[in-house]
Amino acid sequence: MFSLKNKTTIITGGGSGIGRATSILFGKQGAIVCVVDINQDQVEETIRLIKGEGGKAYGYMCDVTVQADVINLYKKIGTIDILINSAGVSHIGKADTTTEDEFDQVFKVNVKGVYNSLHAALGIMKQQGAGIILNLSSVAAVVGLADRFSYSMSKGAVYAMTMSVAKDYIGYNIRCNCVSPGRVHTPFVDNFLSKNYPGKEEEMFEKLSKTQPIGRMATPKEIGYLILYLCSDEASFITGSDYNIDGGFIKLNS
């Protein structure tokens, strides 16, 4: 079950966090993984990890905010069976404390970056007569989170783009879904805690972990398993759906 043998898969943001965990998992399942990221060292490390597990992988440096670069890269790759839009940035701030430059940067990566990737891939998938798209949204898209104004905005847009693409391309045998994680223990969390709570990292990590009713943060691999299912043939009847993977955060805190 859940075989992805020889399915060419593009994973943006594949150099770290959820993108890296998903890249490694897809490699194990037989996919030909195209790791796309802006950080060359991280791309190379992900490729090393995939190949260490016996998987097939290729690395590509690309800034997803530059449409021409994304279009040229996807044309170069040629076949796109699966597209996973995982590249993204976070931001801490309210509407009146977020600067215009900060807002624009979050929008460029999290919204325009996903749009650029969709724009470049959908034409190829239409010609193929099939394709699978998985976008990374967040619980922040539907739940008010303190100090996450621009990030929430961007993930709400990802949710909306997912539903629109699912509707517009269902006739081309293209499925499009998104997943909405709660807090996930990624390098961003560790960097955020060390920057904002020096000396209190463990205390704050425990506090953030307990905001999920399940009592901990998710691991990137756990998010990857849900992505694997939604991109597999076993999920062939699923499109236009958003899946919360949040340790009960939305339903059990309401």
Q: Any idea which residues carry the catalytic annotation?
A: 151
Helix axes 67-77, 113-128, angle to 10 degrees: 30
Phi/psi for 89 (5° steps) reads: -130, 155
Spell 211-232 as b/e; 16+ CB within 10 A means b. ebeeeebbebebbbebbbebbb
Q: Using the structure block, give the residue that is written with the tokens 């597990």.
A: 53
> What does the alpha-carbon distance between residue 65 and residue 136 come to, in Å, rounded to a whole number?
16
Using alpha carbons, select from 122, 131, 37 the residue that is nearest to residue 88: 37
Q: In what order do the strands lie in the sheet with 32-37?
A: 56-61, 32-37, 8-12, 82-85, 131-136, 174-181, 242-245
Question: Helix or strand or coil: residue 12?
Answer: strand
Measure the CA dihedral 73/77/83/85, to 10°.
-30
Largest distance between two CA atoms of the chain:
55
Mode of pairing for the β-strands spanning 8-12 and 82-85: parallel
**Strand positions, DSSP E, 145-245:** 174-181, 242-245
